[in-house]
């Protein structure tokens, strides 16, 4: 048999001939698109198993690109630790399942994203977890619902789709009094407009598919909080497999880098749209926390740094008027989701709250005549002109 002097072509194709040196740090983190990591000595693997987290083992557990993004989110949310997920729902379901077990109860605000509501109404009861809903603009209702089985308080502020607020300080105090973990979905605000952890909330959740990524091109989620709680959530992410891929994480980081400038523009444009819509003859009511007419405007000023990019308008003429308005928009897209640089109009009863009964919609105060407009970063004159012409056509 011939003695082989060099590696075969198939072997070289798989292993290469060595990696190029990289002594300087790149401006952007490398996308470590690798399922697994190589150990020079088995001892390193054993060190990892013993708790040395400076090693990686498998990208469903941890990955350097993913962790880089998590560091940015933890910093923004003033949290000890953050984790990112394959979707906002992945973040929510992994967090909730990490913190409750069969027989436990959750107290939740009654105006929350429809997907979260379905998880609470349809999935958690299968595992023996009961969710009770209250009007999270106050805590009297929650006081009446709390039992020794209650383990978690869940709120969304501002809420999807009608921008109701929860007093973050009161929520944190209520949770502490009853020994509950407090969890907030802060997707609408982002860390630029509010940092719930500074008010005493334990865990902050985001659908990163919205403002964090910011260009309607990613599905992802995030959770931030104390190291102790995040350790529990990490185990569930690992075992439920709700982790985000390294390439997607890189693009999420790209979005986060421009978050604060985008939010400034979203805040500014949405304020102007809300003011323009208020008092318009075709509009019954405008929901926007930045308006003096918002019943919780003073609370908004005390716990938010900006009022956000979402304006909810209730049209005169019911769902037919809402559909006509959406169909006649020329620049603003008639679509689902929110938080991108482009403006999007969406009819909640057909999108984010689709599948809820009339009674559930009534309790959440979501009406068929509502249009939720995610105001983008376009020129304000163009947005107002588009809204104005679509209103004229109702
Ligand atoms: C407030 C809020 N939370 C969570 C989610 C779920 O996020 P994702 O679609 O990324 O799973 C959404 C989606 O619309 C949302 O609006």
Which tens digit of pLDDT belongs to each residue from 254-301? Answer: 999 999 999 999 999 999 999 999 999 999 999 999 999 999 999 999
**Which residue's C-alpha comes closest to atom 15 of ligand 1?**
113
pLDDT tier, 223 (very low <50, low <70, confident <90, very high otherwise): very high
Helices 318-328 and 380-392 pack at an angle, to 10 degrees, of 130
The first and second tokens of residue 384, run together, are 């107002």
Which atom belonging to ligand 1 lies closest to the Cα atom of 221?
Answer: 10
Q: Which residue ranges have their beta carbon within 6 Å of ligand 1?
A: 87-89, 113, 115, 156, 160, 185, 187, 207, 209, 219, 221, 337, 352
350 C-alpha to ligand 1 centroid (Å): 15
Give the CATH number of domain 259-392: 3.90.1150.10
Find the range with the poorest average confidence among 14-23, 171-180, 199-208. Answer: 14-23
Dihedral angle over CA of 180, 296, 343, 118, nearest 10: 40
Q: Which CATH class is domain 42-257?
A: alpha beta
pLDDT tier, 5 (very low <50, low <70, confident <90, very high otherwise): confident
How much is the pTM? Answer: 0.97
**Which residue's C-alpha comes closest to atom 8 of ligand 1?**
88
298 C-alpha to ligand 1 centroid (Å): 27
Beta strands in 174-309 (DSSP E): 181-185, 203-207, 221-225, 283-287
pLDDT tier, 3 (very low <50, low <70, confident <90, very high otherwise): low
Contact by Cβ (8 Å): 69, 253: yes
Which pLDDT tens digit goes with each residue over 86-136? 999 999 999 999 999 999 999 999 999 999 999 999 999 999 999 999 999
Contact by Cβ (8 Å): 107, 182: no
Q: How many C-beta atoms surround the C-beta of residue 99 within 10 A?
A: 21
Residue 36 has pLDDT above 60, yes or no: yes
Paired with 185 in beta bridges are 156, 205
Query: What are the catalytic residues?
Result: 60, 113, 185, 210
CA angle 100, 101, 105 (to 5 degrees): 65
Q: What is the pLDDT of residue 4?
A: 67
Residues of the chain with CATH 3.90.1150.10: 259-392
Q: SS3 breakdown of the chain: % helix, strand, coil, rounded to 5?
A: 40, 15, 40
Measured CA distances, 114 to 42, 189, 353 (Å): 48, 18, 4
Residue 345 has pLDDT above 80, yes or no: yes
Residues of the chain with CATH 3.40.640.10: 42-257
């Amino acid at each position: 048999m011939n003695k082989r002097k060099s590696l075969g072509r198939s072997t070289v194709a798989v292993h290469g001939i060595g990696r190029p040196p990289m002594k300087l740090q790149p401006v952007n983190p490398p996308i470590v698109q690798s399922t697994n990591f190589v150990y020079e000595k088995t001892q390193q693997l054993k060190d990892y198993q013993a708790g040395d987290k400076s090693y990686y083992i498998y990208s469903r557990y941890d990955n350097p690109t993913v962790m880089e993004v998590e560091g940015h989110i933890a910093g923004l949310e003033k949290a000890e630790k953050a984790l990112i997920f394959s979707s906002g729902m992945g973040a929510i379901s992994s967090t909730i399942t990490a913190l409750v077990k069969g027989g436990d109860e959750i107290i939740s605000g009654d105006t929350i994203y429809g997907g979260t509501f379905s998880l609470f109404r349809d999935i958690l009861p299968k595992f023996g977890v009961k969710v009770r809903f209250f009007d999270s603009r106050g805590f009297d209702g929650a006081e009446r619902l709390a039992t020794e089985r209650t383990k978690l308080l869940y709120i969304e502020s501002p809420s999807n789709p009608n921008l109701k607020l929860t007093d973050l300080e009161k929520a944190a105090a209520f949770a502490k009094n009853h020994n509950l973990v407090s969890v907030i979905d802060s997707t609408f605000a982002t860390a630029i407009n509010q940092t719930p952890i500074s008010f005493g909330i334990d865990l902050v959740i985001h659908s990163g598919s919205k403002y964090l990524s910011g260009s309607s091109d990613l599905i992802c989620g995030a959770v931030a909080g104390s190291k102790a709680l995040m350790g529990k959530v990490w185990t569930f992410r690992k075992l439920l497999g709700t982790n985000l891929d390294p390439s997607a994480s890189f693009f999420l980081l790209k979005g986060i880098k421009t978050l604060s400038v985008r939010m400034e523009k979203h805040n500014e444009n949405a304020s102007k749209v809300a003011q323009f819509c208020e008092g318009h003859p075709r509009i019954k009511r405008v929901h926007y926390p930045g308006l003096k007419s918002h019943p919780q405007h003073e609370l908004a000023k005390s716990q938010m740094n900006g009022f956000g990019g979402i304006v909810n308008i209730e049209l005169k003429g019911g769902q037919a008027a809402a559909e006509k308005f959406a169909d006649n928009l020329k620049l603003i897209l008639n679509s689902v989701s929110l938080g991108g640089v482009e403006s999007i109009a969406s009819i909640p009863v057909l999108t984010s709250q689709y599948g809820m009964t009339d009674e559930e919609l009534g309790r959440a105060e979501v009406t068929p005549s509502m249009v939720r407009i995610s105001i983008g970063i376009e020129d304000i004159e163009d947005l107002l002109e588009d809204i104005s012409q679509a209103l004229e056509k109702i």
